[in-house]
């Protein structure tokens, strides 16, 4: 079996990130869960400037409980950087359940499969 190429890894990472986007759009964590390592984390800064987050299950619970389907929401993978088995990526989204945000992801290639191991994000005023 040959080593994957940058292009193959790029497409594989895009597929992983699109699971996250589609899960947000449909407000179903079951769609996005395969994109994340079970040990993944998520953090942001709240309105008071405090660090909030923790286990990725916080995201899954929020998607299922607080998000509503947003089939017309727009999201774009604006950056993917890959070095060996490590990668980082950025997604910008507008009107996702009434929220606009920028996500930064760190991914690792484990046993030949790309997965998100951490996510940090910034929310914005919806357009």
Encode pLDDT of 20-45 as tens digits.
999 999 999 999 999 999 999 999 99
pLDDT of residue 126: 60
pLDDT of residue 125: 73
Domain span at residue 20?
Answer: 6-124
Identify whether 84 is part of a domain.
Answer: yes
Q: Are 24 and 96 in contact (CB under 8 A)?
A: yes
pLDDT of residue 127: 56
Structure confidence at residue 93 as a pLDDT band (50, 70, 90): very high
Identify whether 51 is part of a domain.
Answer: yes
Looking at the structure of the chain, the number of domains it has is 1
Q: Domain containing 41 — which CATH number?
A: 3.10.450.50
Q: Which of 20, 54, 57, 55 is nearest to 35 (CA)?
A: 20
Identify whether 80 is part of a domain.
Answer: yes
Encode pLDDT of 33-83 as tens digits.
999 999 999 999 999 999 999 999 999 999 999 999 999 999 999 999 999
Identify whether 1 is part of a domain.
Answer: no
């Amino acid at each position: 079996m040959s080593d994957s190429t940058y292009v193959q890894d790029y497409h594989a990472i895009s597929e992983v990130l699109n699971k996250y986007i589609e899960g947000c759009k449909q407000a179903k964590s079951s769609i996005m869960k395969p994109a994340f390592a079970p040990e993944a984390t998520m953090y942001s800064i709240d309105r008071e400037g405090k660090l909030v987050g923790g286990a990725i299950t916080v995201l899954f619970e929020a998607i299922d409980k607080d998000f509503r389907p947003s089939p017309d929401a727009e999201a774009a993978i604006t950056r993917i950087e890959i070095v060996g088995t490590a990668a980082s990526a950025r997604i910008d989204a507008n009107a996702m359940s009434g929220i606009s945000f920028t996500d930064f992801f760190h991914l690792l290639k484990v046993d030949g499969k790309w997965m998100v191991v951490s996510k940090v994000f910034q929310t914005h005023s919806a357009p």
